[in-house]
Amino acid sequence: MSDPDHRSEARLYLAGFGLALTLTLVPFGLVHWGLMQGKALAITIAVLAVAQIVVHLRFFLHIDLSRQKREDLQLILFTVLLLGIMAFGTLWIMGNLATRM
């Protein structure tokens, strides 16, 4: 591992790994030791999961907001938008039906 690019990139991977590790340990700890409850816990888990997904995207998949051709980034955002519509819609509709029948 002589070349400097290589080393700095490896450090980035390690940094990502460290962040991901933290973002995993915290929610597991919270649930295992019952440190939080109910809605607050659910929201914390969700936020940490989203944070971890961002970490993976940034450090492992090397997605970032700069330097990229816009058309490619659009693909990912567009997918998130459509998936959001579909998943949110499904939960909304099915949730509503469940309360009414």
Partner 1 sequence: MSGSNLHPGLNLGARHGSAHEGAETVVFGFWIFLMSDLVIFGLVFASYLTVANPLGMAGGPGPADAFDLRSIFVQTMILLTSSLTFGFATLALRHEKGRTVIAGWLGVTLLLGLAFLTLELRDFAHMIEVGAVPQRSGFWSAFWGLVPLHGLHVALGCLWIAVMLAQMALLGLVPVVKTRLLRLGLFWHFLDLIWVAIFSIVYLGGLMP
Partner 2 sequence: MTDPIFGRLDLSSLSVWRAFQDPSLSELIGAGAAMAVILGALATLALLTWIRLWGPLWRDWLTSVDHKRIGIMYCALALIMLARGVIEGVLMRTQQAFGLHGGFLTPDHFSELFSTHGTIMIFFVAMPFIAGVINYVMPLQIGARDMAFPVMNQISLGLTATGAALVMISLVLGEFSTGGWANYPPYTGADFQPGPGPDYWIWSIVLAGIGTTLSGINFAVTIYKERAPGMHFLRMPIFCWTVICTSIIMIFALPPLTVAALMLAADRYLDFHFFTNDLGGNMMNYVNLFWLFGHPEVYLLVIPAYGVFSEVISTYSGKRIYGYMSMVYATMSIAVLSFCVWLHHFFTMGQSANINAAFGIASMAIAVPTGVKIYNWLATIFRGRVRMTVPMIYATGFFYLFVIGGLTGVMLANPVISYQVHNTLFLVAHFHNVIIPGVLFGLLAGYHYWFPKAFGFRLHEGWGRAAALLWIVGFSFTFLPLYWLGLQGMPRRSASFGDPSFQPMLWLALFGGMLILAALGSLMLQLWVSIRNRVQLAVPLGDPWNGRSLEWSIPSPPPAYNFALLPQVLDRDDFAEAKASGRAYAEPAVYEDIEMPDNTAIGMIVCVCSTLMGLALVFWIWWLAVLSLGVMVVSLIGRTFRTDLSHVIPAAQIAAEHRAWLARVRAAPAVDRLAETHDRNRGRAMPERPFAAGAAE
Q: What are the residues binding partner 1 (CB under 8 A)?
A: 3, 5-6, 9-10, 13-14, 16-17, 20-21, 24, 27-28, 31-32, 34, 37-38, 41-42, 45-46, 48-49, 52-53, 56-57, 60-63, 67-69, 72-73, 75-76, 79, 82-83, 86-87, 90-91, 94-95, 98
Give the residue ranges of DSSP H helices in the chain.
Answer: 4-32, 38-55, 70-100
Using CA of residue 57, residue 21, residue 36, residue 34, what is the dihedral sign?
A: positive
Token pair, residue 27, equals 């929610």
Q: Which residues contact 76 (CB under 8 A, 6 or more apart)?
A: 63
Looking at the chain, how many residues does it have?
101
Residue 54 near which of ligand CUA, partner 1, partner 2, none (CB within 5-8 Å, type-dependent): none
Q: How far is the CB of 90 from ligand CUA (least distance, A)?
A: 14
Q: Does 70 bind partner 2 (CB under 8 A)?
A: no
Say whether residue 100 binds partner 2 (CB under 8 A).
Answer: yes
Cα–Cα separations (whole angstroms), residue 79 to 8, 36, 40, 58, 66: 31, 33, 28, 17, 19
Binding-site ranges for partner 2 (CB under 8 A) = 71, 78-79, 82-83, 85-86, 89-90, 92-94, 96-97, 100-101
